[in-house]
């Protein structure tokens, strides 16, 4: 199994975290984005959209972090990570959408501006981030994990959202008021196989 | 089953199309977005993000078009619409991401600017739309449907992408050069139960 990725990317980190939580060995294949390697003919043959991450597992080539998370969960776990029942799958999909839309265009954008000077609208991104964090904080006040019923159960939804929350401080977003989110982060970080975005 | 939606919305149309293709009866509950009804306390109790669509089916409340599509596919079909195998599910998730990210921020934005004066960057949106359409055209030149193997099989991926392609002309995007996409649109439109975004 080979993972085409880049180290400083919430999208790619989601997949590295999932692989590690599942205890799977893989060959890292770093892509030199600064040199435009993700737009090379060779890379576009893997993913025509020229985006990372891309996982190659035998005959299967999967691109897009959520596609890879769902693929890994269904192939290498007992179904706990990606439920098959309509309501459970629907709940997980809701939080995958929150990650892909609401969190990417707020927490991730704030991080890119503050840490890498990519983009300009830090205040707008921070304001959108606060709106998402407020909803997530209230949601997590009564449950341990994002999806699945009244108490929640660990799923790919938590893996998809964690990286955006983890980069919040580097986007100059203060997580101190969000005690339920902080408790959830500690639960994620205590999981066997947890790895941070960058090696310590 | 009750669908909170708004008629002129690609997100909401996805769900109406899915419900109709599955032959399901439902109670339409139009939400007056212009009057801010989607930010009312009553609506935020259904979806704290204040976004449409929201489906209420018995005890289940699902928000987010893709969450609703997956919920409906798993609950009311024989599994054809949302495959359970790792590669199949991964492929469907890829195209759901293309719909949520690449198509929404190109085709949908062009439509909003050109038809409703929402946003300003029509040329940027059109350029991004062409990039997506080029990839989709090449993908569909050798297959009938977006996901599942060499020939493809009809899934929720097609239902999630169709609405954005259907509004392209109203976003002043010419689909004439995209013959494989047009052939795919005709296949979708020929499905039993197909409905357009607005009644004819």
Identify the DSSP state of B145: S
Please state, in angstroms and rounded to a whole number, the distance separating the CA atoms of residues B117 and A168: 33
Please state, in angstroms and rounded to a whole number, the distance separating the CA atoms of residues B165 and B189: 12
Q: What is the pLDDT of residue A150?
A: 79
Q: What is the pLDDT of residue B78?
A: 84
pLDDT level of residue B155 (50, 70, 90 thresholds): very high
Q: Is the pLDDT of residue B160 over 80?
A: yes
**pLDDT tens by residue, A73-118:** 999 998 889 999 999 999 999 999 999 999 999 999 999 999 999 9
Residue ranges of the domains in chain B? Answer: 2-76, 86-189
Nearest-Cα distance to chain A for B61, in Å, is 9
Q: Are B90 and A102 an interchain contact pair (Cβ–Cβ within 8 Å)?
A: no
Binding-site residues on chain A for chain B (CB distance < 8 A)? 48-49, 60, 62-64, 66-68, 70-72, 74-75, 82, 84-87, 89-91, 93-94, 96-98, 100-102, 135, 138-139
Sheet holding B54-57, edge to edge: B27-30, B2-5, B54-57, B60-63
Q: Is the pLDDT of residue B150 over 90?
A: no
Stated as kind and residue range, the H or E segment containing A5 is strand A2-5
What string of DSSP letters covers B2-55?
Answer: EEEE-SS-HHHHHHHHHHHHTT---EEEE--GGGTGGGSHHHHHH-TT--S-EE
Using an 8 Å Cβ cutoff, are B4 and B56 in contact?
Answer: yes
**Cβ of A4: how many Cβ atoms within 10 Å?**
23
Q: Are B67 and A135 an interchain contact pair (Cβ–Cβ within 8 Å)?
A: no
**Cβ of B174: how many Cβ atoms within 10 Å?**
11
Which superfamily is assigned to A2-76 in CATH? Answer: Glutaredoxin (3.40.30.10)
Please state, in angstroms and rounded to a whole number, the distance separating the CA atoms of residues A115 and A171: 7
Using an 8 Å Cβ cutoff, are A135 and A85 in contact?
Answer: no
Residues of B in contact with A66 (CB under 8 A): 93, 96-97
Please state, in angstroms and rounded to a whole number, the distance separating the CA atoms of residues A1 and B50: 40
Which pTM was predicted?
0.96
Tell me the two tokens of residue B169: 């002309």
Q: How far is CA A183 from the centre of its chain?
A: 18
Identify the DSSP state of A2: E
Bond prior to B53 in cis (omega within 30° of 0): yes
Residue of A56, A86, A105, A150 best to disrupt the B interface, most CBs of B under 10 A:
A86
Using an 8 Å Cβ cutoff, are B92 and B157 in contact?
Answer: yes
Mean pLDDT of B63-81: 95
Question: Which residue, A23, A145, A28, is CA-closest to A72?
Answer: A23
Tell me the two tokens of residue A141: 């006040």
Q: Is the pLDDT of residue A174 over 90?
A: yes
Could you tell me how many CB contacts below 8 A there are between chain A and chain B?
Answer: 94
Q: Please state, rounded to an integer, the average pLDDT across all residues of chain A.
A: 95
Mean pLDDT of A43-68: 96
Please state, in angstroms and rounded to a whole number, the distance separating the CA atoms of residues B115 and B36: 20
Q: What is the pLDDT of residue B190?
A: 98
Q: What is the pLDDT of residue A199?
A: 80
Least confident window among A62-66, B66-70, B195-199: B195-199
Domain A86-189, CATH number (from 2.40.50.140, 1.20.1050.10, 3.30.160.60, 1.10.1060.10): 1.20.1050.10
Q: What is the pLDDT of residue A144?
A: 96
Q: What is the pLDDT of residue A151?
A: 80
Across the interface, of B68, B97, B139, the residue whose CB is closest to A67 is B97
Using an 8 Å Cβ cutoff, are A52 and A9 in contact?
Answer: yes
Mean pLDDT of B183-199: 96
- Residue count (chain B): 200
CB within 8 A of B132, min separation 6: which ones?
B98, B102, B103, B106, B107
Residue of B nearest to A87 (CA): B71
Prediction ipTM score: 0.95
Q: Could you tell me whether strands A27-30 and A2-5 are parallel, antiparallel, or unpaired per DSSP bridges?
A: parallel
Residues of A in contact with B85 (CB under 8 A): 74
Binding-site residues on chain B for chain A (CB distance < 8 A)? 48-49, 60, 62-64, 66-68, 70-72, 74-75, 82, 84-87, 89-91, 93-94, 96-98, 100-102, 135, 138-139
Q: Are B98 and A49 an interchain contact pair (Cβ–Cβ within 8 Å)?
A: yes
Please state, in angstroms and rounded to a whole number, the distance separating the CA atoms of residues A38 and A24: 25
Across the interface, of B71, B86, B102, the residue whose CB is closest to A71 is B86
pLDDT level of residue B199 (50, 70, 90 thresholds): confident
Residue of B67, B75, B103, B109 best to disrupt the A interface, most CBs of A under 10 A:
B67
**pLDDT tens by residue, B11-62:** 999 999 999 999 999 999 999 999 999 999 999 999 999 999 999 999 999 9
CA distances, A54 to each of A22, A51, B98 (Å): 18, 8, 14
């Amino acid at each position: 199994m080979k993972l085409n990725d880049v180290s400083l990317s919430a999208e790619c980190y989601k997949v590295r975290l999932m692989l590690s939580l599942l205890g799977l060995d893989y060959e890292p294949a770093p892509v030199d984005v600064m040199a435009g390697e993700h737009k090379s003919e060779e890379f576009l043959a893997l993913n025509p959209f020229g985006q990372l991450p891309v996982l190659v597992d035998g005959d299967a080539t999967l691109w897009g972090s959520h596609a890879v998370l769902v693929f890994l969960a269904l192939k290498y776990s007992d179904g706990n990570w990606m439920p098959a029942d309509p309501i459970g799958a629907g709940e997980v999909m809701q939080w995958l959408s929150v990650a892909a839309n609401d969190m990417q265009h707020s927490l991730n954008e704030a991080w890119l501006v503050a840490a890498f000077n990519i983009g300009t609208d830090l205040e707008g991104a921070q304001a959108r981030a606060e709106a998402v964090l407020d909803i997530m904080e209230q949601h997590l006040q009564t449950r341990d994990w994002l999806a699945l019923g009244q108490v929640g159960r660990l799923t790919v939804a938590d893996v998809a959202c964690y990286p955006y929350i983890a980069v919040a401080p580097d986007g100059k977003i203060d997580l101190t008021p969000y005690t339920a989110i902080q408790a959830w982060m500690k639960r994620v970080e205590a999981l066997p196989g947890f790895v941070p975005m960058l090696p310590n």
